[in-house]
Each structure stands twice: as structure tokens, then as C-alpha cells.
Amino acid sequence: METNPVLEVQNLQTAFKVEGGEVVAVDDVSFSVRPGETLGIVGESGCGKSVTSLSIMRLIPNPPGRIKSGKILYNGKNLVDASNSEMRKIRGNEISMIFQEPMTSLNPVFTIGNQIMESIILHQKLSKKEARVKAIDMLRLVGIPAPEKRVDDYPHQLSGGMRQRVMIAMALSCNPNVLIADEPTTALDVTIQAQILELMKDLRKKLNMAVILITHDLGVVAETCDNVLVMYAGKVVEKGTAEDIFYRPTHPYTNGLLNSLPSRNKEANQGRLQTIPGMVPALSNLPKGCRFQDRCNRVQTKCREQEPSLETIQASHAAACFNPVKVGSA
Amino acid sequence: MFNFIIRRLLYAIPIIIGIALITFLLFNVVGGDPVLQMVGKHATPQVIEELRAEMGLNRPLPMQFVDFLRQIVTFDYGRSYSSKRDVLGMMIQAAPVSFTLAFPGFIISLCLSISASLFVAFWRGTLVDRVFVVVSVLMISVPSLAYILFGQYFLAYKVGLFPISGFSFDPTQVFSYIALPVLIWVVLSFGGELRFYRTVMLDEINQDYIRTARSKGLNERVVMFKHVLKNAMIPIITSVLIQIPFLITGALLLESFFAIPGMGTQLIDAFNTSDLPMIKAQVMVFSILYVVFNILTDICYSLVDPRVTIK
């Protein structure tokens, strides 16, 4: 059953002005998500995951940042050209976002109820009383005990996990079609992480949302995502279904990421954790050719001269590499 | 809350005593003998001794200090050396004058600088922002005397928009008398305040919860006036409340240049004539106000910031 994608990003390029020039943080990124589907975007810190998501919301601080080119199609409408007031109707209503830092993402001087009600009153035109009832319902939905009481709490009275639940309640309060979760569990401890992910999976099914899950935790991706986008230094280096990525990784970077996961089978790697040597290159000083060349164990002369583009391997699977890892050899 | 206020007031006692001790040491021990200054060069030792006894300055220092403390508690600061009038009465007469000048200046510059700071913070990094920054730095850099002289010479003397100096409570005249000093007050404080509030606002604008507010689809007006401003109120309250004691004790330069008989003028006169009772009274009144407004600031925090609880 193929439905039309609710969100489609085409050749997105987002750049930031820096002293003496411009840095392209997201370069030629394309992907799409369908209702009820979860897309994982993985990659190291600074690879452009968050900038991609903020671009979709049009929340890139401008100046210094701006979307240089590309299209962001939401139900066919290009958000890059949308006016500010059109964007305001979409934000929090049709596309919602959960941020990485639950400890600082809630305003400390307003009650959580007030903050959830804000978007309900704004987008659903409910009265204060009705919005409060809805806010309590949302808090109950995300599993906050005694929501009638908690609704009047201030953020500092809640733990990190509880605050992230509040963020989720806030993001879901207007039944969005797309939920962007930017490392929703990074700041939380492991048991809470599992709860939050379970909750998001649950709600996705209930509400038939499309979810974009941004993370650097491959375990999380394996558990929750249908499709995966692997980003490196602002570019997509591999994309495919979760099976493609986990069982048939093609790009040496993806392969390296998977190999650097701790494994229970200690014999396989002599008890040592494998790593990808080196550092992500500075976006202002990218090497000629493939961006991953200096850290790649399969680098060839061609990689230093030309930049590889995404080549389809199988129907849904594509990678940008001249010397890909052979399927099965990982 | 009540317990908190009582406790803070009790803490204030040693602070006040400390200030009293320093003031006392500075003027009665380190400073020159006020009697010698009063009687001039040709007085006989006998006259000096009599005057000293009359003013209680021949008594042992600890006794004099106790006298001073008694004055602080009873608000009876004795008589001025120069005018021979009751010091407290003089201050009560002068304080409303200072306040009439300072209050409008304070309110106008506060409203202007806070709204301008929100505006500038919203347009941060653009030409508007830069123009405001340059202008406010210029305003800070010009010394206050330059403004006063310019205002009095050009606006008052040459153009004749305002009286050059003077003061009256007469409702038909008070406005014209305070207009120029108030204007200069606003010009003097606007630049610095704008810079400070702009920093405060920018600090807030870059917070994660402001991004969250935008991600909800709120418009910029709600983001700035609700989410940014309420958080920014915390540092703003600190700077505003602590300025209020200065409103009562007056602006030294403005008052003396515009011949406004407020507490600032009084203090300068007292310095010029070594009028010890007046100096000590003004120092103590200001210190007590300062301590009280510090406590008020803490109480106000708890009204704005739910994370602050007063026990």
C-alpha cells in the first residue's frame, strides 16, 4: 500500500554566514516520509541533522542561516516559499517538533499547562477552559501521573523524563501530521529512553503520524525506524530501509558506525570496541572529493578527486561511494 | 513570606551598624575637625573648646558613636551646622523636589529603553540594531556636563525653550522647570540602559524555550512580549529597583546645575560647608533605603520566577 508522502524534501541546501564566507551545513539532502512511517536520520554531531529539521520548520536563525535552494513539500506545498504567517499556521499544528534538551526547552516561568494550552488555543481556537481539559488529556496520554495536578506545575518541578513527556504532549496537542523528534532521548537515562520511544511508537500508530527521528543512536533507529538516512558532513551518504542499512550497509561510513556498536560477541572484535579514526572535517574546509576520504579504510585515488553522488543499489537503497562495501562482507 | 521579611530586616541591622561605623570613622575620626572650619582662623582656644562642648564633640568617641546610632534609630539627626535648621525637616522638604525631577526621568527612560531593547533584540544583527548600538555608545560616551551645558546654553538660553534653571511646585511652572533636566536625565540614562536591556533580551532570545515557543507557531509579538519579556524581567527588576533610592536622594549634578533645591543640592552644600549632621543623615538615609530596596528586590523575584521560593 503506497500512500503519497506527506513530507518531501528535495535537494535541500542550508547555509550559514560565517566570518569570511559561507558554510553549507546541509547540502543537497532529499528524502520523503509517508503517514505512519518513521524515518531515521543518523550521523555524528554536526553532520546537519538538526539543521535539516530546523529547515523544515523554517526555524533556522536568520541571519546568519538561510535555506539556499531546494524544496520542502508538505502535502504538495513548498514551505521554502511559504510566508511567515503561513508557516505559523503549520508550526505546532501540522508539523511539530520535539527538541533535544528537555531541561531547557520549556519556559521556566510559565506552568506546563499554560505552555501546552498556548498552541491548543492558537491552532484549535478552543476557549481557555476547553484547552485546559485538552492539556490534561494530553498529559494523561503521554503517561504523566495525576495530570490534573501536574498541569499547574512549573518545569523545574518535573524530572527530565517528565519534561520530555510534556514536550511530546505539547507537540502532539494539535494532532500534527508530521512529528520531528530531534534526539528526543539523548539527554535522558536509558530506562526513560525506552519509555519515551515506546510512547512515540504508540502514538505514531494511534495518530497515523509521519515521524522523523533524528538521532545518533543506531540502537534507537533499529528499534523504531522504517527508513534510514545516514548523513555525513552535511550530505546524505546512504539511504534505505532499516534492513538495507543494518543488514546490507554499503557506505564505509555506515559500515563503520555499525561496527563501532558494542557487540555481545566479544570474540568477533577481540574484546575491543572498533572506532572510526579521525574527526569530521570542518565544513568550512572540506577536502576535494569525497568528504569521508580521510577517515575511510577503502579510500582510492578517485575518492580524492571526485565527489561521489548517491547511486541506487536496489529499489530503495542508495549510497554515495566509489568503492562500496560488498553486501555480506560486513 | 512574613518570616522571610522579618529575617531579612534583622540581617539588615548589622549592615546598617557597619555603615554607621564607617561613616562615623570617616567624618569624626579621619576627617578634619569641623569646629576649626566653622570658627575660622582667628578664634581663641577657649571659643573652640566651648563650641566643641556645645556640639558634643569633646565626649569620648564611643559615646559619640552611640549618640550617632541613637540618631539613626530616632531619625533625629540634630541641627545643620550651617543653617541651624532641623536636618530631618530639611530632608523632608527636599526629597519631594528630588523626586519630582527624578521620577519622570526614570519612568520615561525605563519605558523607552525597554521597548527599544525589545525592538533592537528582534532586529539583532541588522542595520537597525547596529545604528542603535552606535547611538547608545555615543550617548554613553558624551560626559553629562556636556549635555547640561549644551541644554542650558542652546535650548534654554539661545532658543529659549526652557528656563535656564530654577524650580517651583506651582503647577503652572513645575513642568517647564523640570522639562530640560528630565530630558537630560533621559538622554543620560537611555544609552546605558538600552545596552544593558538589549544584552538581557538577546540572552533570552537565544534560549531553547524561545525556539520551542516559535515551533508552536506563536507570532513574534507573543514570543517577545510573553516568553522573552517575563524571563528578562528577572535581571530588569534587579537594576530597576536598586535605582529607586537614587530617585529620592536626587541627581547631584543635575540638581546643582539647574539650582533645584533637592537632596542632591543639599548634599553638595553640606560637603562644601562641612555640615556633618546633614552628610551623616543623608548617607544613612540612602543606605537604609538601599538595604530596604534590596530586600524588596528579593521579594519581587519570587513574584516573577516560580523557581524562587521564599521561606
Same domain, residue pair B38 and B170: no
Closest CB to B215 among A92, A122, A154: A92
pLDDT at A148: 92
Q: Is residue B280 part of a domain?
A: yes
- pLDDT, tens digit, for every residue of B113-125? 998 998 898 888 8
Same domain, residue pair B147 and B262: yes
Q: What is the mean pLDDT of each run of 10 residues along chain A (330 residues)?
A: 82 87 88 91 85 90 84 90 89 90 89 92 91 92 89 91 88 89 81 82 86 88 90 90 88 86 65 79 83 86 86 85 70
Sign of CA dihedral B64, B65, B68, B74: negative
Q: Do A104 and B230 touch (CB under 8 A)?
A: no
Residue B270 main-chain phi, psi, to 5 deg: -65, -40
Which residues is A14 bridged to in the sheet? Answer: A26, A67
Q: For the complex shown, is ipTM > 0.85? A: no
Nearest chain A residue to B230, by CA = A109
Same domain, residue pair B111 and B168: yes
| CATH label of the domain that carries residue B190 | 1.10.3720.10
Cis peptide before A64 (omega within 30 of 0): yes
Q: Is A294 exposed, middle or buried (0-12, 13-18, 19+ CB in 10 A)?
A: middle
Q: Is B125 left (phi over 0), alpha (psi -120 to 50) or beta?
A: left
pLDDT at A327: 62
Sheet with A95-98, edge to edge strand ranges: A95-98, A178-182, A210-215, A38-42, A227-232, A235-241, A317-319, A311-314
Closest CB to A122 among B215, B217, B304: B217
The full DSSP string for B96-134 is HHHHHHHHHHHHHHHHHHHHHHHHHHHTTTSHHHHHHHH
pLDDT at A2: 63
Print the domain residue range for B14. 2-74
pLDDT at A107: 93
Same domain, residue pair B202 and B59: no
Same domain, residue pair B217 and B287: yes
Nearest chain A residue to B228, by CA = A107
Q: Do B307 and A93 touch (CB under 8 A)?
A: no
Same domain, residue pair B52 and B201: no
CA proximity to A280, closest of A268, A270, A291:
A291
The Cα–Cα gap between A14 and B103 comes to 50
Contacts of A63 in chain B (CB under 8 A): 125-126
pLDDT at A106: 92
Q: Nearest CA to CA, how far is A326 from chain B (Å)?
A: 42
Residues of chain B with pLDDT under 70: 32, 250, 311
Q: Is residue B219 part of a domain?
A: yes
pLDDT at A269: 55
Identity of residue A177: N
pLDDT at A330: 43
pLDDT at A329: 46
The Cα–Cα gap between B134 and B81 comes to 48
pLDDT at B168: 84
Same domain, residue pair B180 and B288: yes
Same domain, residue pair B199 and B268: yes
Could you list the beta-strand ranges (E) of chain B.
none
pLDDT at B172: 81
C-alpha cell at position A75: 502535502
C-alpha cell at position A320: 554515495
Contacts of A91 in chain B (CB under 8 A): 214-217
Same domain, residue pair B135 and B231: yes
C-alpha cell at position A189: 537515562
Q: Do A108 and B209 touch (CB under 8 A)?
A: yes
Closest CB to B230 among A63, A92, A109: A109
Pairing of strands A210-215, A21-33: unpaired
Q: Is residue B80 part of a domain?
A: no
Nearest chain A residue to B222, by CA = A118
pLDDT at A96: 92
Residue A315 main-chain phi, psi, to 5 deg: -35, -55
